[in-house]
Structure 1
Amino acid sequence: MAWFVLSSFVDRTIEMLHSEAVQQIGVTDELSELKNTMSSIKARLSDAEEKEELVDHRLFVDLEKVEELVDDLSSEALRQQLAGTLRRDSITKKVCTFFSTSSNQAASQYKLGEKIKGINKILARLKASLLDSGLVERHEENIDVVTRGKEPTPSYVHKEQVIIGRDRDTTAIKRYLFDVAENSEEKNVEVIPIVGARGIGKTTLAQLVFHDEEVVMHFDLRLWVNLETYQLQQKLGKIVRGKRYLLVLDDVLIGNPLMWTSLKNLSSGCANGSRIITTSSYWDAEIEITKSIGTTKPYELKPLDEEESWALFKKVVFENGEEKQINSQIVKRIVERCAGSPFAIKTIGRMLQSKDPETEWSTFLETDIISRIHRGDLNSFEALKIVWDNFPWNLKNCLAYCSLFPIDFEIDVKTLINLWIAQGFIYPSPGRHMEDVGYEYFRNLCWESIFQEVEKDENGIVSKCRMAPLMHQFVIKAAEQFVIPDLTTFEELWLPQPGQLGSPQLGQFWLAQHVSFGFHLDSSSILVRLLWDRAYNLHTILLPSQMRLETEETLSESFFDVIILRHKLLRVLDLHNLGIEMLPDSIGKLKHLRYLDVSQNSAIKSLPNSITMLLHLTVLKLSSCYGLQELPRDIHKLISLRHVEIDWCYSLTHLPRGLGHLTQLQTLSEFVLSKDNRHSCSLSQLAALNNLRGKLKIKNLENGIYDSKAAILKEKEHLTSLTLAWDLDVPEDTAKYQLDLLEPPSNIKELLLVRYDGIEFSNWFSSLNNLVKFSLRNCKCRHLPPLSHLSSLKVLILDQMTDLKCISNKYENNHPSSSSASAAAAAFFPSLEELRLTELPNLEEWWGGDNSLKATVSSLPSFPRLSKLMIEDCPKLSSMPLYTHLKEWLVLDNTSLETFQHIMNPFTSSQVPSETNKEWSAASTSSAVFASSSLSRLQSLCIIGIKKLDISYSDEIKWEGLRNLRFLRFDYLPKLNELPEGLQHVTTLQELHIWRCNMKTLPEWIGKFKFLTALGISACPYLNSLPEAIKSLSSLMTLEIVDCPILLERCKSENGADWHKIEHIPDLFFL
Structure 2
Amino acid sequence: MADGLVSLVVESLGSMAIQELSFLVGVKEDLEKLSHTFEFLQAALIDAEKQQVKNELVKNWLGRLKDVAYDMDDVLQEWKVVIDGCDDGTGSEDKVCSHSFPPCFSFDRASFHVKIGRRIKAISARLDQIKEDKDRFIFREIREEGGAIESDTMETSSLIDETGIFGRDPDKEIIVKQLVSEGSSNEENIPVISIVGMGGIGKTALAQLVFKDERVKKHFDKMIWVSLPHDFDVRRIYLAITKIRGWSGSLEELQFILQCGVRKTQFLLVLDGLSNVDEARWEKLMISLKGAATGSRILVTTRNVNVTKLFSMTLMHELKPLFENECWSLLSSRAFSGGRRGDDGGVLESLGREIVNKCHGIPLLLKTIGSALRSKKDVQDWLSVLHEEIWDWDSLGAEKIAPALLVSFHDMPKHLKQCFAFCSIFPKGHFIEKDKLIKLWMAQGFIPQRGRGEMERLGGLYFDDLMGRSLFHFIETDEGGDAKYCMMHDMIHDVCESIMSEYLVIQEKTPKSDLTKARHASWICNWDVEFIPSFIHKASNLRTLLLIGWSKIHSISHRFISSLNHLRALDLSGSRIKKLPNSFQNLKLLRYLDLSATEIQELPEFVSTLCLLQTLKLNHCYKLRKLPKGIAKMIKLRHLETEGTCLEYLPKGIGRLTSLRTLTKFILGGERGCKITELKELNFLQGKLEITCLNRVASRDEANEAELEKKQNLQTLQLSCQRSNLEILVESVVAQEGVFEGLRPHTNLRDLIVSDYIGRQFPSWMEDCSSYSNLTKVQLSYCRCKQMPALGKLMSLKWLEIKAMFEVRQVGSEFCGNSYGGVTRTFPKLEILIFESMEIWEEWKLNVGAGSIPFLIQLSISFCKKLKALPELQHLTSLQELNISSCPILCNRCQRAGEDWNKIGHIPNITIDGMKIQ
Tell me the TM-score range normalised by the shorter chain.
0.7 to 0.9
Which stretch shifts more, 588-597 or 741-750? 741-750
Q: Is the 8 A contact 1:814 1:828 kept in 2?
A: no
The answer on 1:715 being equivalent to 2:715 is no
Structure 2 CA distance for partners of 1:776 and 1:83, relative to 1, 3 Å: closer
3-state SS in 1 of match to 2:402: helix
SS at match of 1:55: helix
Between the aligned partners of 2:583 and 2:200, the Cα distance in structure 1 is 53
Assess, with a 3 A threshold, how the Cα gap between structure 1 residues 120 and 109 changes in structure 2: closer, same or farther. same
How far residue 639 of structure 1 moved from its aligned partner, in angstroms, is 1.8
| Aligned counterpart, 2:60 | 55
**Structure 1 contact 73–112 (Cα < 8 Å) conserved:** no
Question: Pick from 307, 310, 313: which aligns with 2:332?
Answer: 313
CA distance in 1, matches of 2:678, 2:600: 29
Residue of structure 2 equivalent to 1:896: 888
Q: In 2, are the aligned partners of 1:774 and 1:793 still within 8 Å (CA)? A: yes
Q: Alignment identity in percent?
A: 26
Deviation at 1:633, TM superposition (A): 2.1
Please state if 1:872 is matched with 2:863: yes
Matched, 1:226 2:228: yes
1:972 equivalent in structure 2: none
- Answer yes or no: is the 8 Å Cα contact 2:371–2:468 preserved in 1: no
Q: Which residue of 2 aligns with 1:440?
A: 461
- The change in CA–CA distance for 1:722 and 1:48 in structure 2 (over 3 A counts) is same
Separation of aligned partners in 2, 1:95 and 1:397: 32
* Alpha-carbon displacement from aligned partner over 1:657-705 (angstroms, at most 9, x marks no partner): 22222222111111111221xx632212212212211211111112223
Give the drift of 1:752. 1.5
In the other structure, the counterpart of 1:660 is 655
Name the amino acid aligned to 2:572.
L
Distance 2:719 2:897 in 1: 37
Aligned to 2:6: 10
Q: 2: CA distance between counterparts of 1:523 and 1:254?
A: 23
For residues 66-122 of structure 1, give each alpha carbon's deviation from its aligned partner in whole angstroms, at most 9, with x where no partner exists.
122110232234238x4899248xxx9x9977699xxx9997997598457525632
Partner amino acid, structure 1, of 2:143 = E
CA apart distance, 1:544: 1.6
- Supply the distance in 2 between the matched residues of 1:703 and 1:51 (Cα, whole angstroms): 65
Name which of 837, 841, 844 aligns with 1:843: 841
SS in 2 for 1:332: helix
- Taking the TM superposition and a 5 Å limit, the aligned residue runs for 1:923-962 are 933=905, 936-938=908-910, 942=913, 962=917
Indicate which of 72, 76, 81 corresponds to 2:78.
72
**Does the 8 A contact of 2:196 with 2:302 survive in 1?**
yes
Aligned positions of 1:302-701 closer than 5 A: 303=323, 305=325, 309=328, 312-313=331-332, 315-316=334-335, 322-326=340-344, 328-329=346-347, 331-335=349-353, 337-338=355-356, 342-349=363-370, 357-359=378-380, 361-362=382-383, 365=386, 379-428=400-449, 432-453=453-474, 455-479=476-500, 481-487=501-507, 492=508, 506-520=512-526, 526-527=531-532, 529-532=534-537, 534-548=538-552, 554-555=554-555, 559-564=557-562, 566-608=563-605, 610-650=606-646, 652-676=647-671, 680-701=673-694
Alignment of 1:920-999 (within 5 A): 933=905, 936-938=908-910, 942=913, 962=917
Look up the match of 2:810.
806
Question: Partner of 2:248 in structure 1?
Answer: none
SS in 1 for 2:352: helix
Shift in CA distance, 547/703, structure 1 to aligned 2, threshold 3 Å:
same
Mean Cα displacement is larger for which, 393-402 or 641-650?
393-402
Shift of 1:634: 2.2
- Aligned mates of 2:393, 2:523 — CA distance in 1: 39
TM superposition shift of 1:504: 6.7
Q: Which amino acid aligns with 2:644?
A: W
Q: How far apart, in 1, do the equivalents of 2:344 and 2:867 lie?
A: 76
Structure 1: gaps of 5 or more residues = 493-502, 848-852, 910-927, 944-958, 964-1071
For 2:829 and 2:349, locate their aligned partners in 1 and report how far apart those are by CA, in whole Å. Answer: 50
Distance in 1 between the 2:366 and 2:529 partners?
51
Deviates more, 1:27-36 or 1:636-645: 27-36
Higher RCO (C-alpha 8 Å, min separation 6) = 2
- AA paired with 1:338? V
The letter of the residue matching 2:73 is E
CA gap 1:303/1:79 in 2 versus in 1, 3 angstroms? same
The letter of the residue matching 1:723 is: Q
Task: Find the counterpart in structure 1 of residue 246 from structure 2.
Answer: none
Cα deviation for residue 508 of structure 1 reads 1.7
Q: Deviations over 1:861-903 (max 9, x none)?
A: 678534362411533554445388776783512x232x11455
Is the 1:602–1:624 Cα contact (8 Å) retained in structure 2?
A: no
Asked whether the 8 Å contact 1:785–1:808 carries over to 2, the reply is no
CA deviation map 1:1003-1049 (0-9, x unaligned): xxxxxxxxxxxxxxxxxxxxxxxxxxxxxxxxxxxxxxxxxxxxxxx
3-state secondary structure, aligned to 1:221: strand
Distance 1:327 1:462 in 2: 32
Determine the C-alpha separation between the residues in 2 that align with 1:708 and 1:135: 68
State the Cα distance separating 1:17 from its structure 2 match: 3.4
Q: Which amino acid aligns with 1:749?
A: R
Contact 2:817 2:827 survives alignment (8 Å): no
- Which aligned pairs between 1:56-455 and structure 2 lie closer than 5 A? 59=65, 61-79=67-85, 82=87, 86-87=91-92, 114=117, 118-119=121-122, 121-134=124-137, 136=139, 138-141=141-144, 147-148=147-148, 157=156, 159-161=158-160, 166=165, 173=172, 177=176, 181=180, 201=202, 203-210=204-211, 220-226=222-228, 228-230=230-232, 235=238, 238=259, 242-248=264-270, 269-271=291-293, 292-295=312-315, 303=323, 305=325, 309=328, 312-313=331-332, 315-316=334-335, 322-326=340-344, 328-329=346-347, 331-335=349-353, 337-338=355-356, 342-349=363-370, 357-359=378-380, 361-362=382-383, 365=386, 379-428=400-449, 432-453=453-474, 455=476
What amino acid is the match of 2:885? Answer: L
Whether the 8 Å CA contact 1:664–1:691 is kept in 2: the answer is yes
* DSSP 3-state at the match of 1:464: strand
Letter in 2 for 1:619: T
User: Which residue does the alignment assign to 1:973?
Assistant: none
Which deviates further from its counterpart, 659-668 or 119-128? 119-128
Q: What is the DSSP-based 3-state SS (H/G/I as helix, E as strand, rest coil) of the residue aligned with 2:885?
A: strand
Deviation digits for residues 146-174 of structure 1 (CA, Å, limit 9, x no counterpart) = x24776997x7464336696489669948
Displacement of 1:908 in angstroms is 1.3
Give the TM-score normalised by structure 1.
0.69
**Cα shift at 1:744:** 1.9
Deviation for aligned residue 1:603: 4.7
1:826-850 C-alpha deviation (Å, 9 max, x unpaired): x556433251311x22111223xxx
List runs of 5+ in structure 2 lacking aligned partners. Answer: 53-57, 102-106, 242-257
CA drift of 1:906 comes to 9.5
Kindly report the root-mean-square deviation, in angstroms, between the aligned alpha carbons of the 2 structures: 4.8
Q: Is the 8 A contact 1:748 1:771 kept in 2?
A: yes
| Count of equivalent residues | 861
Asked if the contact 1:786–1:808 (Cα under 8 Å) also holds between the matched residues in 2, the reply is: no
Alpha-carbon offset, residue 39 of structure 1 = 1.9
For residues 138 and 73 of structure 1, the distance between their equivalents in structure 2, rounded to whole angstroms, comes to 32
Residue 592 of structure 1 deviates from its aligned partner by 0.7
What is the deviation of 1:570?
1.3
Q: Is contact 1:194–1:280 with CA below 8 Å preserved after alignment?
A: yes
Structure 1 Cα separation of the partners of residues 597 and 179 of structure 2: 46
Aligned partner of 1:41 in structure 2 is 41
Does the 8 Å contact 1:196/1:301 carry over to 2?
no
Q: Which has the larger radius of gyration?
A: 1
Per the TM alignment, residue 124 of structure 1 is displaced from its structure 2 partner at its CA by 4.4
Tell me the secondary structure at the aligned position of residue 49 of structure 2.
Answer: helix
